[in-house]
C-alpha cells in the first residue's frame, strides 16, 4: 500500500463520537460500494491508528475504543482520487477533518489486519427459527441455543442496513472490528467496509 488519506473526528461538545462514526462509516461504505468489482471487493483498505482493545477480568473494565482517526490505504493514488472522499463526506465537514492524499512512509515496520467480527444472532431469534420446524417448543429451543450464542466486546460502529428501501423496516446492526498483527500481504482485497481477513495494511 503506497498511498493513504486520513480522516480525524473533530471533538464536538454535544455530539458523541459514536454518532459521528456511524454517519461517517455509512457514507464510506456507500462510497466503497461504488468502487467494487464483480466479486463485491475493493482495493482500498482501512486502519484505525488509535484502536484500543484490552480485555480485563471481571473486576476491571475493559479498554475498548476505535479512537478518532481513520486511514484509507491504496496501492495507487488514482484509486483514492476516484473515491473522492470529500464529495461523500461533504455533509460532515463540520465534524471531520480530511487530509490530502499522501505517500505511505517508506520505513514501515509493522502491518495489521482489520477484519469484521461476525457475531451470532440472539438466542431468541435462533429459537424462533427452530420452532418453525414444528418438532419442539420455544422453551426447549431456547435452552438448546442459550450457550451457542457468541458475544464480543470488540469496538464497533453502529450501522444502518442499506439493503432495505422501506424506511419503517430500517435495520441497525453493529459492525464489530477486530485487529490482528500481520505480515505484509501481497493480496490487497477488501470488503466494501474496507476490512479484510486476509489483506494487511501498514501501521504507523
Output phi, psi for 36, to 5 deg.
-70, 155
Which range is least confidently modeled, 27-31, 110-114, 116-120? 116-120
Task: Report the share of the chain in percent with pLDDT over 90.
Answer: 60
C-alpha cell at 23: 454517519
* 20 — pLDDT class (breaks 50, 70, 90): very high
Average pLDDT over residues 165-178: 71
Quickly count helices (H) and strands (E) in the chain.
5, 11
Which range is least confidently modeled, 19-33, 46-60, 63-77, 177-191? 46-60
Between the CA of residue 52 and those of 57, 155, 175, what are the distances in Å?
16, 8, 16
Q: Map grid coordinates 461533504 to a residue.
A: 90
- The domains located in the chain, with CATH, are 3-117+160-203 (3.30.70.2540), 118-151 (no CATH)
Between the CA of residue 132 and those of 123, 144, 146, 159, what are the distances in Å?
15, 15, 18, 29
Residue 200 clears pLDDT 80, i.e. is over it: yes
Q: What is the pLDDT of residue 120?
A: 65
CA distance 53 to 91: 30
CA distance 112 to 203: 6
**Dihedral of alpha carbons 164, 167, 173, 174, sign:** positive
Total-model pTM: 0.81
Burial class (CB in 10 A: 0-12, 13-18, 19+), 95: middle
Q: What is the pLDDT of residue 169?
A: 47
Beta strand segments in 12-106, E: 45-47, 52-54, 63-65, 69-74, 96-98, 102-103
Residue 151 clears pLDDT 70, i.e. is over it: no
* 58 — pLDDT class (breaks 50, 70, 90): low
Amino acid at each position: 500500500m503506497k498511498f493513504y488519506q486520513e480522516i480525524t473526528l473533530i471533538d464536538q461538545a454535544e455530539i458523541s463520537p459514536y454518532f459521528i462514526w456511524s454517519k461517517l462509516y455509512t457514507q464510506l461504505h456507500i462510497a466503497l460500494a461504488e468502487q467494487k468489482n464483480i466479486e463485491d471487493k475493493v482495493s482500498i483498505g482501512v486502519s484505525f491508528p488509535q484502536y484500543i482493545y484490552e480485555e480485563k477480568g471481571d473486576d476491571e473494565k475493559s479498554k475498548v475504543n476505535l479512537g478518532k482517526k481513520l486511514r484509507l490505504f491504496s496501492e495507487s493514488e488514482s484509486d483514492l482520487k476516484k473515491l473522492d472522499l470529500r464529495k461523500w463526506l461533504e455533509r460532515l465537514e463540520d465534524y471531520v477533518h480530511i487530509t490530502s492524499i499522501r505517500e505511505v512512509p517508506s520505513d514501515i515496520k509493522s502491518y495489521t489486519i482489520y477484519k469484521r467480527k461476525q457475531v451470532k444472532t440472539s438466542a431468541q431469534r435462533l429459537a424462533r427459527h427452530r420452532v418453525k420446524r414444528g418438532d419442539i417448543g420455544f422453551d426447549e429451543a431456547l435452552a438448546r441455543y442459550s450457550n451457542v450464542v457468541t458475544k464480543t466486546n470488540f469496538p464497533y460502529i453502529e450501522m444502518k442496513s442499506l439493503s432495505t428501501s422501506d424506511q419503517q423496516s430500517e435495520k441497525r446492526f453493529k459492525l464489530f472490528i477486530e485487529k490482528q498483527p500481520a505480515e505484509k500481504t501481497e493480496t490487497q482485497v477488501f470488503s466494501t467496509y474496507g476490512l479484510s481477513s486476509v489483506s494487511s495494511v501498514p501501521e504507523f
